[in-house]
Amino acid sequence: MIDIEEEVKNRTLIAPMGGCYIAKLYGCGKKHYFCRNGEIFGKALCKAKEYFGYDIIHLSSDIYVEVEAMGLYSWSCIYKEYGKMNENFDIDSLTINLNSGRVSEYRKAIEYCNSKNNTVFVSVSAPFTLAAIIRGIDRFMIDLIKNKKFAKDLIKKTTEISKIVIEDIKDIAYPFVVDAVASSSLISPEFYREFAFKPVKKVLKLCDFPILHMCGDINPILDDIKKTGSKVISFDDNLEISKAFEVFNDLIVFGNINPSMMYHSNVDWVKTEVKKCMESKTGDYILSTGCSIPVGTPKENLKTLVRYGRCYDV
């Protein structure tokens, strides 16, 4: 694995959040681009890295990986019984089987990528986000107001589960902790501090090189995020890249080209965005998209992101 902390001092690393898009691009059918077969998924990710020439593979498929291994979901993202509908269910009974579902396939994919001397980031759900997925996001938002004890008990349990997943992979890949539901797009800064901050800090502490990704608007909680203990902060296009370098001046900034526009726009737009990111750089930086690249994004757009990004380190 690349020593990221040392490498970014010398150059900008490039690590697009490819996941399913990359896998489908390189021959995975619908079943496999959600990582049903780790070796097939790993081969696709390695082929893409070799073709595009970026530095780090990002291994992810969808937000249901952990809950599938907990026995709560089928592998499909669309499931008729979304969330645990009854708050009286036994939280203590929740557990995760690391040999079940796609968690075990993730390990196979990592091992294949490592066999080709690649560096891998692997998405792991943060405790708050995992609790929301288990419960159902809409009902979980209500729990934060009406059933606080239940919500906190559930988050305590998901903290344990996130730790188990991180312990399983941290020696062979970099855990990429994703708190997709904890931004100010969904909860207030006060709720972030009450429910999400301490749990994510606990799981990041387990990581030898902690990385935190957050979706949505994080502008109201920038100071809190800085205190999580993460060494890398990944964020989407709700935050101006220049402001990120200002606030996270002693951390590694990761992002933040709009993935939706990667899908809808052309190479000229990509060049403009890469230029903005690279000219805003005032510290250690990993050039990437702000979230997962949509399936169907023009290949030329990703090619442009990588090649144009390289121009600035020449």
CA atoms in the 13 A half-sphere facing the CB of 54: 30
Distance, C-alpha 13 to centroid of its chain: 17
Q: Left if phi > 0, otherwise alpha if psi is -120 to 50, otherwise beta: which for 239? A: beta
Confidence (pLDDT) at 201: 99
Under a CB-based contact definition with an 8 Å cutoff, are residues 227 and 247 in contact?
A: no
pTM of the entire predicted model: 0.93
State pLDDT tens for residues 202-241: 999 999 999 999 999 999 999 999 999 999 999 999 999 9
Grade residue 78 by pLDDT with cuts at 50, 70 and 90. very low
Helix axes 38-52, 299-311, angle to 10 degrees: 50
Q: Which domains does the chain have, with CATH numbers?
A: 4-311 (3.20.20.210)
Structure tokens at 62: 């969808």
Confidence (pLDDT) at 76: 52
